Amino acid sequence: MASQPTEKRVNNFTVKIATANGTGSASANGLIMKSLFRMGIPVSGKNYFPSNIQGMPTWYEIRASRDGYIARAEDVDMVIAMNAETYVRDVQEVRSGGFLLYDSSWPRANVLTRDDITVLGVPLAQMCNEAFQGARNRILMKNIAYAGALAALINLDMDIIRTLLGETFRTKTHLIDSNMKAIELGYNYAIENFDCPLPFTAEKMDATAGQLMIDGNTAAGLGAVYAGATVAPWYPITPSTSLMDAFKSFAERLRKDPETGERKFTMIQAEDELAAIGMVIGANWNGARAFTATSGPGISLMSEFIGLGYFTETPAVLFDVQRVSPSTGMPTRTQQCDIMAAAYASHGDTKHVVLFPANPEESFYFAVKAFDLAERLQTPVFVLLDLDIGMNDWMCPMLEWDDSYTPDRGKVMSAEDLETTEFYRYLDVDGDAIPYRTLPGTHPEKGAFFTRGSGHNKYGQYTEISEEYVEVLDRLRRKTDTAATLVPKAAIDEPFDTDMAIISVGSCDGAVREARDHLSAQGIHLNYMRVKAFPFGQEVDDFMDRYERIFVVEQNRDAQLKSLLILETRVEKAKLESILHYDGMPMSAKPITVAIEKAVAKGEAA
């Protein structure tokens, strides 16, 4: 056992818990994270789980950061090693001077040895076997017991833990006592056998007021409800399934007649992704707000229907929770690999509106924005989350809602309008490239009663006349220009007088913000723009004009954001330098910091 380091760190540490999938560890891990949050400490949780149901290794990483950093931490202060199959890997993940806790009910494995870390053995299984009955119950309580040991080691507030257990099991009160008993087994053992607390410890702060813990899929599902969505066809695919689960859960509470119990929404599990997007387009054409959620493989399958929506100018909203690709890839790992696929989905000349939330808070607000844009622009709109945003636990400001909100239905003609105004489906009346539309049945004789994906002219008539086809296609391109003025503006932070900048997208944001702080401490100052949407607004071009050297940070192999910037803006290609991360793990600040340090040093040497 290595000697404990003397440096004391308060509210600035990372604990990684290694277990096996299906052993009930999620409850214990959530209890630890929520306890830190209730103590007022900024915290985030990231789950690295297998794509099977049970038995494979899984890890949960909890980062407490007094400075509010939310990206994955590279240095792990403590590993709780509960899975013998991953001991070799787990012991290597502990930083020098860190700690490893393991179940010492059995002789310690030789692999759990390193001269520069402290190994703590707690007989978790032995204690739980003596205190509880039933094999499954003992396994579950063993996980709760390690939470108790950790509570002693890092000084978690036991009163908060008791409160959380009461809230969790308020409908199953008999479980409160058994879980608290397991907590106390681990807690008391650690107090009696180790120097508690460790050099890194938790102390109460007041940095979580007005915040909540939520994942992006839940937030997006809630946003779809508040946006007025009532039709949700889908086909299950990781990591988007929980978004539809969330929508159903919220709709059951908010879209049900309180007197009759009648549901005011429809969810349809389609036979495949093609059927799902076809239903979405059909429902939107008929006037409903409809959406689907999927991931990269689903977008590939939906592409032809997406092109139909684009060419017939039918609203649709698609949530793409990105995962590691190509092909099946690694379904439970994260990437930003669908940027180009979404922007240009389908064959032929198409260009789509894409929103890039950076966290669950934006996932909620962008969900609402997506439905408004889809109807205002009469086109499919993508919301690109990723697995890190969608399925991990984030601390975000409380979500707010304006009860005066009215959905933007766009240019929809009423029966009265049709009586007094000539209607031509694809005619640009207002000069913004957005035509007027009607909903089926609005008028018994006038308006649109069908649509077509074949060639049509501005009057909605079938055509194979080249000039008429080109006129429609050119107007669709101009509609992209209109979209660029309506989508969320890029977030720009320019506090420094510098010729260097960073551009990023989505969940890279936390890592970029942390990296900028580290680099500024070394005298390397960079301004920052986070792209929130495509098509790019004028502010994106203007930002890039102001800098000589721009680092583009993204999570894919082929620099898709950088490619889109080169294709769709006036930026000089030589200005842009890629920092790419695509191993499936959420991005940390380290690769950004290291890459820019090397690039700057190389430039100075030259």
Token couple for 260: 């009759």
pLDDT-derived band at 53, boundaries 50, 70, 90: low
Question: How many helices (DSSP H) and strands (DSSP E) are in the chain?
Answer: 19, 22
Domain annotation covers residue 2? no
- Asked whether residue 56 falls in the same domain as residue 197, the answer is yes
Task: Report whether 539 contacts 487 (CB < 8 A).
Answer: no
Regarding whether 219 and 169 lie in a shared domain, the answer is no
Q: What angle do CA 111, 113, 117 make, to 5 degrees?
A: 140
d(CA 452, CA 127): 69
- Taking only the tens place, the pLDDT of each residue in 309-344 is 999 999 999 999 999 999 999 999 999 999 999 999
- Binned at pLDDT 50, 70 and 90, residue 6 comes out as low
**180 and 254 together in one domain:** no
Q: Please spell the DSSP secondary structure of 476-493, one letter per residue.
A: HHHHHHHHHHHSPPPEEE
167-226: per-residue pLDDT in tens?
A: 998 888 889 999 999 999 999 999 999 999 999 999 999 999 999 999 999 999 999 999
Q: Does residue 123 sit in the same domain as residue 229?
A: no
Other beta carbons less than 10 A from residue 95's beta carbon: 17
Contact between residue 536 and residue 570 where contact means Cβ atoms under 8 Å apart: no
Note the pLDDT of residue 1: 47
* CA dist., res. 533 & res. 482, Å (int): 13
**3-state class of 527 per DSSP?**
strand
Does 164 lie in the same domain as 46? yes
pLDDT, mean of residues 409-419: 97
Determine the straight-line distance between the first and last CA of the chain, rounded to whole angstroms. Answer: 48
Number of Cβ atoms within 10 Å of the Cβ of 53: 8
Give SS3 for 414.
coil
What confidence tens digit (pLDDT) does each residue in 198-210 have? 999 999 999 999 9
Please give the structure tokens belonging to residue 112: 């759990």
Sequence length of the chain is 606
Q: Determine whether 29 is exposed, middle or buried from the number of CB atoms within 10 Å of its CB (0-12, 13-18, 19+).
A: buried
CB of 525 within 8 A of CB of 498?
yes
Task: Among 486, 508, 531, identify where a domain stops.
Answer: 486
| Two structure tokens written together for 304 | 């032809």
**Residue 578 is assigned to a structural domain of this protein:** yes
Domain check: are 106 and 149 in the same one?
A: yes
The 3-state secondary structure of 47-77, one letter per residue: EECCCCCCCCEEEEEEEEECCCCCCECCCEE
Residue 295 is given by DSSP the state -
Asked whether residue 11 carries a pLDDT value surpassing 80, the answer given is: yes
Does residue 220 sit in the same domain as residue 167?
no
pLDDT category at 113 given cuts 50, 70, 90 is: confident
Residue 403 lies in a domain: no
Q: Which domain holds residue 450?
A: 415-486
The CATH code of the domain that includes 576 is 3.40.50.920
- Kindly state the tokens that stand for 565: 């910037």
Q: Is residue 157 part of a domain?
A: yes
Q: Looking at the domain assignment, is residue 558 inside a domain?
A: yes
Structure tokens at 201: 């410890």
Please, is 592 exposed, middle or buried when counting C-beta atoms within 10 Å of its C-beta (0-12, 13-18, 19+)? buried
Residues 324 and 246 in one domain: yes
Residues 241 and 158 in one domain: no
Does some domain include residue 595? yes
Task: For 510-546, write each residue's pLDDT tens digit.
Answer: 999 999 999 999 999 999 999 999 999 999 999 999 9
Return the percentage of the chain with pLDDT > 70, whole number.
98
pLDDT at 3: 47
In 323-443 the beta strands, taken as DSSP E runs, fall at 353-355, 380-386, 394-397
pLDDT in tens, 365-413: 999 999 999 999 999 999 999 999 999 999 999 999 999 999 999 999 9
Choose the final residue of a domain: 456, 486, 516: 486
pLDDT of 582-597, one tens digit each? 999 999 999 999 999 9
* Domain-located, residue 402: no
Mean pLDDT (whole number) for 415-422: 95
Say whether both 105 and 249 belong to one domain: no
Say what percent of the chain tops pLDDT 90: 91
For residue 50, what pLDDT band results from cuts at 50, 70 and 90?
confident
3-state secondary structure of 504: strand
Q: Is residue 408 assigned to a domain? A: no
d(CA 482, CA 353): 11
Number of structural domains in the chain: 4
CATH code, 166: 3.40.920.10
Residues 318 and 466 occupy one common structural domain:
no
Q: Are residues 478 and 498 in the same domain?
A: no
Alpha-carbon span 305 to 303, nearest angstrom: 6
Question: Inter-axis angle of helices 296-312 and 273-285, to 10 degrees?
Answer: 30
Q: Could you give the residue ranges of the DSSP H alpha helices within 63-157?
A: 87-93, 124-131, 135-154
Residue 52 has pLDDT above 90, yes or no: no
Angstrom distance (rounded) from CA 237 to CA 157: 39
Domain final residue pick, 165, 181, 209 = 209
